[in-house]
Every structure is written in structure tokens, then in C-alpha cells.
């Protein structure tokens, strides 16, 4: 207990809530995990068929040779932006309200990156030759940039998540006592690498986190840019855009913020964290979401105007297929549900509440998935030779693997959230619960701005003295 010094009643409640999932498992949890496992098993059957018969079982063919898998790969790479980048951004700007939400977001990043690499595995024709990436990798290939970028980003994100978790792991292993079981305690103790909460350790950890925070921002930007270059480095008109890199980065932040909102809403319910993840958190993230929706609108408009003004042959075909052709349903759902709806919901005071922002976040992610889909499929559909344009419809195997992949993502998030302390207790202690600007720069100078628990005089007394 001395790890965090004196705590208020509110902070004690937070600690209880965070420890609850570590101590016991509810029935709802097992039902949820069972549902996910069924979906994963279903995906496994589909993957077995695909491994046996080849990509023959998908809807892809020579003319549209990438489809749902690559769209999902790009989507999950984008989803990974949620944790590391947004949390780094909030840490760097010293937004103290970040403390209760970033742990979950960082966990989601790791899960999303693992899922994204799975979809590469689903897509390649010879998964048995995956080691060729290491044996024969050529630096000239955008795909290799992506492989090494992804490995760097994943390692960095895991380290970033882990570093900020060390004090909490020590705290949990100390506090949970015998009810927790010796073996489990041992794991947490091992993971907390002899954290004793000394001043020296604290200073080192702070330095390490600052270094990682600053390092992760360019790494995340690199990752999404390099992903866009898989498409941008080809001679296909709809992908031939210098804007693709920044466009993908913005799209990733947009869907990442949306995913944090969804995760917060679930965590708040599941772990009874209503007191700590407040309306204010949803509001702030909602504003960020709307801002990035506007940025996405800007990018789309600038691309459409530059191409639509000149109307070169391939660009005309591409615009036609999106606005009124085969991809029109996907495109217009993206525009109205994926961009317009989130902006409107957050702009209108009447809908600017938890439910509204949650709806906006879900719509933003559906929209971003559809955008990835029409970028991949639409880009390949523009014919390069005189023939009737090809069509692509994902087969049931692809849909099944999509279900399986999404279930793996959800299972990873669920299990990690279950086994790890879901809220950064020590950061909450240092920033959110600490009082006044003296101990937390950029903190809650105005008492009316702070958490519900701030009225508790214990918090003021609990500031490190």
C-alpha cells in the first residue's frame, strides 16, 4: 500500500475496481470468451480450406488480386494508432485527463498489430514460405518496409505499454496477497522486475517513458505512411498520390480515436469505472474525433477536386465507379455515415453526449473500414487493358476469416484487459488525483474541472509531501 502513499476514498475505490477482474471471473466473461472462441474456430475451418485448396476459395482473381484481407490489414494497422500514438500525443501535451484511458488504448494497439499481421498471413499464397521475408528480404520493396516497420512498431508498442505498467504490476502483486495465489503473484512479481518505488527508480522510469513517448510518435507516423506506400508505389492511377501517406495517418488517428471511445464505453460498464471515466473523457475524445473527421473531409475534397477537375481517363473511371458505379453504396456510406454523421453528432449540443459520441465512434470505424475497402478494390478495378471491368465479391471463406480475425482481436483485448491492471493507477495517483499545478503541470488547476472524487479532502492531503 505504501507504494502509492496516502490515498483518498475515491482512489481506494479505483484500486478496488481495477483489482476486481484480477481476483475473480464473472460468468458474462466466460460467455463472451466462448462466443469469441466459436468465431475463431469457424475462421480456423475456413483457413484450413484455404490452406488446402489455395486462394482459389476466395473471391480474388488476377485482375482484382487483393481484397478483403488487405483492406482489413490496412484497417487494423489504422486501429493500432489508437493506443500508442494517441496516448503519446496526450502524454506529450500533458493532458492529465488521459490517465484512466491510455492503458486500455495501448493494449488495443498491441492486439490490433498482432491481428494486422495475421491478415497478411491470410493473404499470401505461400504461408509456408513466410521465412523468406527474413532470408531474402529486399530493402527496395515497400512490402519489406512494412514488415520491418510493423516489427519495430509492435516491439515499441509492447515496450511502451509495459514500461508504463511496471509500477502497477508491483502494486498489484504486493497488494493482492494470498487470495491471489502464489503462482499468479509470482508472475506479476517477475514482470514488475524488482520495482520498489524508490526515487531513483521513479526518475529512471519517467525518463524511459519520456524517451519512448517521443520515439513512438515518428514510428507510428512511419508505420501508416509505409502502409500507404504499398499502394502508392504502384503505377495505378487511384493510388498515384503523394498525399497517400498523410491521408493514411489521418485516417488511422481518426479510426483509432473512435476505437478508444468504444473501448472506454465497454470498460466503463464492464469494470464499473463510471466514476473515473467520465462524460468529460467522452467529450474530449469526441472533439478530437470530430476534428479528424473534418481533416478527412478536407483530404477527400482535395483529392477529388484535383482529379475531378482534370478528368484524365483512369481518374474518371475511378470517380464514376465510386460516385455512381459499383462501389457507390460503399462510398456514400463512408461519406454520410463515416464522415458526416460523426461531425454532426458532435456539433449538435443535443446529441453531444456519451451515447451520441459512442454512435459517432462506431460510425467512424465502419466508415474507415469501408474506405479501406474501396481504396483497395477500387484502385485495382480500374482496368489497365481494354476489357469489361472486373468485379470482386468476397467469398464466404473471406468473410469467415474476417470474423475469425476480428474475434482474435477482441479476444486479445479481452484477455489482456482481464490479466493486466486496466487503469494506470500510478499515473492516476500522480496526475489525476494530485492537486494543483505544483505537482502536475497542466493539471486540474480549476477544482471544478477535476474528477468527482476531488471534493474528497483526502486527495488534497494525499498529494505527495
Partner 1 sequence: MDREENLKKWHVSRRRFLQMAGALGATAMAGVALPSALRDGSGVSVAGEDQLGPGEAAAQRRLRKWMMIIDLRACDGCQSQDSPPKCSEACIAGHFVPEPMQWIEVYEHELSSEAELRPDEQPDLPINGTRFMPTPCMQCQNPPCVNVCPVGATWSTPEGPVLIDQDRCIGCRMCMAACPYERRFFTWGEPPIPPESLFVERSPEHQVPLKKGVVAKCDFCPEMARSGRLPFCAQACPQNAIYYGDLEEDIATNGDQVVKVSDFLAENSAFRHKDELGTRPRVYYVPGHGELAGRKPTDHGLQEVSWDYQSIRKGSKSWKRSGT
Binding residues for partner 1, per CB under 8 A? Answer: 53-56, 58-66, 123-126, 129-130, 132-138, 140-144, 147, 193-194, 196, 198, 201, 230-231, 233-236, 313, 316-317, 320, 380, 384-392
> Please, what is the minimum distance in Å from the beta carbon of residue 310 to partner 1?
12
Given the C-alpha cell 517513458, which residue does it identify? 209
Contact 257, 86 (CB under 8 A): yes
C-alpha cell at 363: 460510425
Distance (Å, whole) CA 282 – CA 268? 11
Distance (Å, whole) CA 429 – CA 399? 45
* Residue 422 DSSP class: S
Contact 84, 254 (CB under 8 A): no
List helix spans (H) across 24-141: 27-53, 68-79, 83-92, 102-123, 132-136
Instruction: Please state, in angstroms and as integers, the Cα–Cα distance from residue 155 to each residue in 54, 111, 183, 233, 428, following that order.
Output: 31, 12, 27, 26, 25
Q: Between 27 and 52, whose beta carbon lies closer to partner 1?
A: 52
Distance (Å, whole) CA 385 – CA 216? 43
Q: Between 124 and 208, whose beta carbon lies closer to partner 1?
A: 124
Q: Between 376 and 459, whose beta carbon lies closer to partner 1?
A: 376
Given the C-alpha cell 489525476, which residue does it identify? 432
> Please, what is the minimum distance in Å from the beta carbon of residue 119 to partner 1?
12
Q: Between 8 and 400, whose beta carbon lies closer to partner 1?
A: 400
> Please, what is the minimum distance in Å from the beta carbon of residue 212 to partner 1?
17
Q: Between 27 and 126, whose beta carbon lies closer to partner 1?
A: 126
Q: Between 137 and 437, whose beta carbon lies closer to partner 1?
A: 137
> Please, what is the minimum distance in Å from the beta carbon of residue 145 to partner 1?
9
Q: Between 238 and 367, whose beta carbon lies closer to partner 1?
A: 238
> Please, what is the minimum distance in Å from the beta carbon of residue 53 to partner 1?
6
Contact 372, 231 (CB under 8 A): no
C-alpha cell at 278: 467520465
Q: Between 192 and 365, whose beta carbon lies closer to partner 1?
A: 192
Provide the terminal-to-terminal Cα distance of the chain, rounded to the nearest Å.
16
Q: Between 74 and 293, whose beta carbon lies closer to partner 1?
A: 74
Contact 59, 213 (CB under 8 A): no
Q: Between 194 and 438, whose beta carbon lies closer to partner 1?
A: 194
Distance (Å, whole) CA 92 – CA 87? 8
> Please, what is the minimum distance in Å from the beta carbon of residue 19 to partner 1?
20
> Please, what is the minimum distance in Å from the beta carbon of residue 123 to partner 1?
7
Of the candidates 63, 60, 68, the residue with the CA atom closest to the CA atom of residue 390? 63
Of the candidates 331, 352, 235, the residue with the CA atom closest to the CA atom of residue 286? 352
Helix axes 68-79, 199-232, angle to 10 degrees: 150
Other C-beta atoms lying within 10 Å of the C-beta of residue 443: 22
> Please, what is the minimum distance in Å from the beta carbon of residue 388 to partner 1?
6
> Please, what is the minimum distance in Å from the beta carbon of residue 114 to partner 1?
19
Q: Between 189 and 418, whose beta carbon lies closer to partner 1?
A: 189
> Please, what is the minimum distance in Å from the beta carbon of residue 210 to partner 1?
19
Contact 272, 447 (CB under 8 A): no
39: helix, strand or coil: helix
Q: Between 201 and 439, whose beta carbon lies closer to partner 1?
A: 201
Distance (Å, whole) CA 220 – CA 19? 31
> Please, what is the minimum distance in Å from the beta carbon of residue 384 to partner 1?
5
Of the candidates 325, 258, 263, 259, the residue with the CA atom closest to the CA atom of residue 286? 258
Contact 137, 147 (CB under 8 A): yes
* Residue 340 DSSP class: I
> Please, what is the minimum distance in Å from the beta carbon of residue 400 to partner 1?
18
Amino acid at each position: 500500500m505504501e507504494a502509492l502513499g496516502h490515498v483518498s476514498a475515491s482512489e481506494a475505490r479505483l484500486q478496488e475496481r481495477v483489482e476486481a477482474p484480477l481476483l475473480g471471473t464473472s460468468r458474462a466473461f466466460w460467455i463472451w470468451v466462448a462466443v469469441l472462441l466459436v468465431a475463431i474456430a469457424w475462421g480456423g475451418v475456413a483457413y484450413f480450406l484455404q490452406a488446402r485448396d489455395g486462394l482459389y476459395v476466395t473471391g480474388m482473381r488476377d485482375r482484382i488480386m487483393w481484397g478483403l484481407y488487405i483492406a482489413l490489414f490496412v484497417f487494423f494497422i489504422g486501429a493500432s494508432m489508437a493506443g500508442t500514438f494517441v496516448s503519446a500525443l496526450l502524454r506529450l501535451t500533458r493532458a492529465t485527463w488521459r490517465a484512466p484511458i491510455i492503458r486500455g488504448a495501448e493494449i488495443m494497439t498491441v492486439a490490433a498489430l498482432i491481428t494486422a499481421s495475421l491478415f497478411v498471413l491470410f493473404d499470401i499464397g505461400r504461408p509456408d514460405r513466410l521465412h523468406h521475408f527474413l532470408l531474402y528480404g529486399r530493402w527496395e520493396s515497400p512490402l519489406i518496409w512494412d514488415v520491418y516497420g510493423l516489427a519495430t512498431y509492435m516491439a515499441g508498442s509492447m515496450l511502451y505499454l509495459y514500461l508504463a505498467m511496471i509500477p502497477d504490476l508491483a502494486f498489484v502483486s504486493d497488494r493482492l496477497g494470498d487470495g491471489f495465489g502464489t503462482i499468479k503473484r509470482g508472475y506479476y512479481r517477475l514482470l514488475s522486475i524488482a520495482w520498489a518505488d524508490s526515487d531513483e527508480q521513479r526518475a529512471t522510469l519517467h525518463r524511459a517513458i519520456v524517451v519512448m513517448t517521443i520515439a513512438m510518435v515518428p514510428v507510428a507516423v512511419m508505420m501508416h505512411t509505409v502502409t500507404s506506400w504499398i499502394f502508392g508505389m504502384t503505377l495505378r492511377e487511384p493510388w498515384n498520390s503523394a498525399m497517400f501517406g498523410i491521408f493514411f495517418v489521418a485516417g488511422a488517428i481518426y479510426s483509432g480515436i473512435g476505437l478508444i471511445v468504444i473501448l472506454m464505453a465497454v470498460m466503463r460498464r464492464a469494470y464499473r469505472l463510471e466514476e473515473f471515466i467520465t462524460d468529460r473523457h467522452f467529450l474530449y475524445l469526441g472533439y478530437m474525433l470530430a476534428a479528424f473527421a473534418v481533416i478527412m473531409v478536407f483530404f477527400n475534397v482535395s483529392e477529388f477536386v484535383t482529379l475531378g477537375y482534370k478528368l484524365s481517363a483512369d481518374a474518371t473511371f475511378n470517380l464514376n465507379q465510386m460516385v455512381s458505379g459499383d462501389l457507390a453504396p460503399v462510398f456514400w456510406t463512408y461519406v454520410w455515415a463515416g464522415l458526416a454523421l460523426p461531425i454532426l453528432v458532435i456539433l449538435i449540443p443535443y446529441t453531444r453526449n456519451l451515447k451520441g459520441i459512442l454512435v459517432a465512434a462506431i460510425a467512424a470505424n465502419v466508415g474507415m473500414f469501408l474506405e479501406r475497402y474501396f481504396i483497395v478494390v477500387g484502385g485495382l478495378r480500374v482496368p489497365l487493358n481494354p476489357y469489361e471491368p472486373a468485379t470482386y465479391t468476397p467469398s464466404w471463406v473471406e468473410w469467415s476469416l474476417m470474423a475469425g480475425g476480428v474475434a482474435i482481436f477482441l479476444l486479445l483485448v479481452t484477455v489482456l484487459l482481464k490479466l493486466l491492471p486496466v487503469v494506470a493507477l500510478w499515473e492516476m495517483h500522480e496526475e489525476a488525483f494530485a492537486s494543483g499545478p505544483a505537482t502536475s503541470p497542466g493539471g486540474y488547476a480549476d477544482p471544478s474541472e477535476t474528477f468527482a472524487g476531488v471534493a474528497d479532502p483526502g486527495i488534497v492531503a494525499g498529494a505527495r509531501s
